[in-house]
Each structure stands twice: as C-alpha cells, then as structure tokens.
Amino acid sequence: MAENTTASHSMDPEKDANIPELARNNSNLPESSRLHEPDLEKGEVPGSVPSPALSYDEPKKNPDIVNWDGPNDPENPRNFSRMRKWYITMMLSLLTFCITFSSSVFSQATAVTAKIYGVSVEVTTLGTALIVLGFALGPIIWGPLSEVYGRRLPMLVCFTISAIFQIPVAVAQNLATILICRFLIGTFGSVTLAVVGGALVDLWEPVDRGIAAAGFCAATFLGPIAGPIIGGFIVPSHLGWRWTNWITLILDATVGLVALFSLPETFAPVILQNRATRLRYETKNWALHSTLDESPLTFNDIIHKYLSRPFEMLILEPILSLTTIYLSVVYGILYLFFFAYPISFGEVRGWEHPGVAALPFIGLLIGILLGCAVLIYISKHQYAQKLKETGKLVPEDRLPPMIFAAFTLPAGLFWFGWTSSPHITWVPQVIAGVPIGFGLIIIFLQGINYVVDVYLVYANSALAANTFIRSLLGAAFPMFASQMYHNLGVAWASSVLAFITLAMIPVPILFYVYGARIRAMSRFVPKA
C-alpha cells in the first residue's frame, strides 16, 4: 500500500505516474494519486492507484507533520461526495470550454479585420494561430506553479488575466494589439490545459476518472467547434466583429465568478499545508508543518522535468515520437477546419451568411460526442471486465479503438472532400463531419492514454513534449489552410489531409503488434 499522503510526498513530478487518462500536460500530483510498484502476488494491478482512503497502515514518522485525520477525512478530495466531485469536474470543464471557445471564435473575424487593417487574410489568421501557440508555451509555467500553489490559485488568477486581455482586443485600434493580446490570452488561458487533468486525479479513483476525463476532453474539442458557429452569427450582425471578444469576456466572467465562489482546492499537499498553517496558530505549536514545506520545487527540477527530459524522450522513444506526430496532425486538422469549413460552405456552396456557413460544424460536434460515448462505454465495460478477469491491463489494450478510428478519419475526410461540389446536396458533406469528429476525439484521447500507460512515472515529461509539439502544429495548420483550399479546391485539399492520415494508420497497428517488445527496450518505461 502507498504511504501516507503527506508523510512521503517528495514533490517530484516524475514520480507522479498516475496522470489522468486524457490529453493534457499535468503537473506534480499528490502521492495519494500516484501509481506505485504493484505487488502482483497480492493481486495489485500494474498502473493501479491506491486510494488515499486506504493509505493509512503506516504510522507517522514525524508527529509534527500534519496529515489526514484518518481514511475518512472530509477535507480529503477523494472523500468528497460524488455530487460535489461531479460539480467540480463540470466547473473545470466549463473553464476549459471558455478558453478553447476563445481560441476559435475570432476565426470568423479574420476576413473583416483583414479589410479594416489592410492586410491579407493569412496575417489576420495569426489571431487564431497565436492563441494556440500560447497553449504550447503556457503549461511550461503553469504546471510547476500548480505544484507549489495548488490547482485553485493558478487556475483562477490565470483565467482572470486571460479574460481581461479580451478587452484590449475588443477595443484595439491596430492589428499588433490584437495579435499580442490573443497570444497572451492563449498563454494564460492554457492554465486549464495544464492543471485540470491533475485536479481530476485529485478527485477520482481510476474507474470513474476515465469517464470524467472523457467529459473534460469533450470540452476541449467542443469549445473550438462552438466558436465559429457563434462567431459566424455575431460578426455580420449589428454587433460587429469586436463583440466576439465581448461575448467571450461575458462568458468568462460568468463562469469565472461561479468558480471563484464554488471551486475548492483539490491538491492534497496544499490542503495539508494550509491545515498546518491554521493549526500552528490554533495550537501555538510552531513546529507543525506539511511535507510540501520540507520539499519545495527547485528551478533545476523544472528545467529537468519540463524542458530537458521531454525532448530527450521525444528523440529516443519511438512510441512517444510517432504518437506525438499522429496526435499533432489530428490536432492541426481540427484547427485547420475552422478555415476550411467556411471556404467549402460559404464560398463554394454560396452560403453567404457566415453563421449559416458554420452550422455544418454540428456534424463534427455530433461525431465528437459519439466518440466520447463509445470511449465511456468501453471504459466502464470492456476495460473493467478485463481488469476483473485477468487482474491487469496492458497499454496496448488502449489501441483497438484507436485503430478503428484511424480508418474512420481518412474515410470521413475523403467523404467530406468529394461531396463538396455545389452540384451535390449539402447533406452528405455535413454528415461526413460525424466520422471525422469521431476519429479525431478517439485518436486523440486513446493516444494520450497509451502514452500515459506506457511511461507511467515519466508520463509528465512525455505529455509535456506531446503538448508542446501538438500545439505548435495546431498553430501552424491554420496558416496554410486558406491557400491550400483555394489553390487545390476542397476535394483535393481534403484528400491531401486524408492521405496524410492514411499514412498514420500503421502507427497504432505497429504498437499493438510490437508495443510490448518496444517497451522492453526502452530505458524510460518502468519495468514490471
């Protein structure tokens, strides 16, 4: 069994093997949330997480270290009621939705702002690209901060700053202000991508965490899809393009205020540190402290675990490098479509109203929701059943859904491209968004899960590299979307994307067949 949450907390994020099952770069987690070396003779499962409620069979080594008051301590986030846990999960997902919504809503204003400031559409497309670039850089800062100050403080402060930067964009008199502030919105807003996953680990046991993670990932995809739809109706209205930012600010302020008054801290070491501070004043015993006070995060820790090791792994680890390339392509396609869809439906089909031309995004939305539903079903039934029967899961168990989705994504892209002619009814092209969205979310989420399951104690470093490269491609793809779809046409431009994803199909198949052998040769994969 794991040691006491605080009595053994080392503040080493690379020992935080219990990273949530989702797409995000999460920082140091409480040891109650970490994977431990399994005792196979006792039936423990590799990759399982001992509940903090069951981690009290060893006595405190130091009576001055503040710990939980037994396994049922109500302040322990794992002991929150299910209703409270789901409320917190919903609020975290809403915060993420707000940020990802902001990333794409401006895409509908690129043509208008290009005319206003006398530049090309490719230049104003930077308004979308730079916010995604901020998603790549921000977690390098916010991840370590969440290890020192917990989840709540960095989340609320950075989310507030991100919302405030909507104001200068809304009143900007030059393009430079728009682009700089959009980058800062992404940099500060990326706190949700860096911290929410760790908060889910703080709250949930592994079985329920898979469901919570699927909902969180849905928010990260649904936000960008909702942005162009709503922005498409705002920009041509009497409100004008500036109201894409005012509406986002109103949304951020509403959700942020609710979070301010209802979102608790979930990071166990910080909760215990605050308890120690309170008890020192109540008891006048100034020796009381938490293990977070004993083991502060150092600058060298940050450099090694968030900068040097991730890229060392990216170069040396074929599982990480190939999976990162695949997920980066998928992420880039998502953001490319925010410009491809308006071209296909607005220009080619002649749907003049930008909002109407954005409604086909609903097909993508349905596909994403369907993919999440499938993954939740698989997690609750197939994975749980195998765990019950065999006592363990291997990382390659994540890959069959990913392999299936690897075929649906290019099929959807070909379908989308070759039904784009204005002489063909719009219905089949809109429906093509369903297999595309289905493929995007399953490849993305299962790819992240596979990386986490493979690298365990090094999962933070692996996800740091994955998130950085993925966000770079997410920022780059929109920059050539307009030219590619105008020069090649919708059919062939979509086919190019389909051929690229076809080339990616062998990746999950390769790892499904040879993954165990590849893992055995890795020096970053923990040995069972």
Residue 150 has what pLDDT?
Answer: 86
pLDDT band at 146 (very low <50, low <70, confident <90, very high): confident
The answer, yes or no, to whether residue 57 has pLDDT greater than 60, is no
C-beta separation of 318 from 518 below 8 A: yes
User: Measuring CA to CA, how many Å separate 366 from each of 123, 432, 435, 493?
Assistant: 32, 11, 9, 23
Averaged pLDDT of the chain: 83
Residue 216 has what pLDDT?
Answer: 85
What does residue 444 show for φ and ψ, rounded to 5 degrees?
A: -65, -55
Q: What is the pLDDT of residues 342-388, one digit of tens each?
A: 999 999 999 988 889 999 999 999 999 999 999 888 887 777 777 77
The answer, yes or no, to whether residue 510 has pLDDT greater than 70, is yes
If you count them, how many residues does the chain have? 528
The answer, yes or no, to whether residue 35 has pLDDT greater than 50, is no
Dist. CA 233–CA 524, nearest whole Å: 49
Dist. CA 93–CA 77, nearest whole Å: 17
C-beta separation of 20 from 198 below 8 A: yes
Token pair recorded at residue 108:
């509908």
Q: Which domains does the chain have, with CATH numbers?
A: 77-267+300-520 (1.20.1250.20)
Cβ neighbors of 430 (< 8 A, separation 6 or more) are 360, 362, 363
Q: Which residue has the higher pLDDT, 411 or 312?
A: 411
Could you say which DSSP state residue 527 is in?
A: P
C-beta separation of 324 from 507 below 8 A: no
Query: Collapsing DSSP states into helix, strand and coil, what is residue 65?
Result: strand
Residue 320: which of 479, 451, 480 has the closest Cα?
451
Decide: residue 370, CB within 10 A, 0-12 exposed, 13-18 middle, 19+ buried: middle
Residue 29 has what pLDDT?
Answer: 36
C-beta separation of 472 from 133 below 8 A: yes
How many CA atoms lie less than 13 Å away from 496 in the CB half-sphere? 14
Query: Collapsing DSSP states into helix, strand and coil, what is residue 285?
Result: coil
The answer, yes or no, to whether residue 58 has pLDDT greater than 70, is no
Question: How large is the average pLDDT for residues 31-55?
Answer: 37
pTM: 0.79
Residue 206 has what pLDDT?
Answer: 67
Q: What is the pLDDT of residues 270-300, one digit of tens each?
A: 888 888 888 888 878 787 777 777 777 677 7
Give the rounded distance of the alpha carbon of 484 from its chain centre: 28
Question: How large is the average pLDDT for residues 290-319?
Answer: 80
Question: How large is the average pLDDT for residues 87-111?
Answer: 92
pLDDT band at 46 (very low <50, low <70, confident <90, very high): very low
Dist. CA 267–CA 478, nearest whole Å: 36
Cβ neighbors of 230 (< 8 A, separation 6 or more) are 101, 105, 247
Dist. CA 441–CA 367, nearest whole Å: 8
Dist. CA 25–CA 471, nearest whole Å: 11
Residue 48: which of 32, 40, 36, 56 has the closest Cα?
36
Dist. CA 349–CA 425, nearest whole Å: 10
Name the packing angle between helices 206-234 and 82-105 (round to 10°).
30
User: Measuring CA to CA, how many Å separate 252 from each of 96, 128, 152, 196, 248?
Assistant: 10, 18, 16, 16, 6
Query: Collapsing DSSP states into helix, strand and coil, what is residue 460?
Result: helix
Residue 71 has what pLDDT?
Answer: 83
C-beta separation of 104 from 230 below 8 A: no
Count each helix (H run) and each strand (E run) in the chain, helices first.
23, 0
C-beta separation of 118 from 239 below 8 A: no
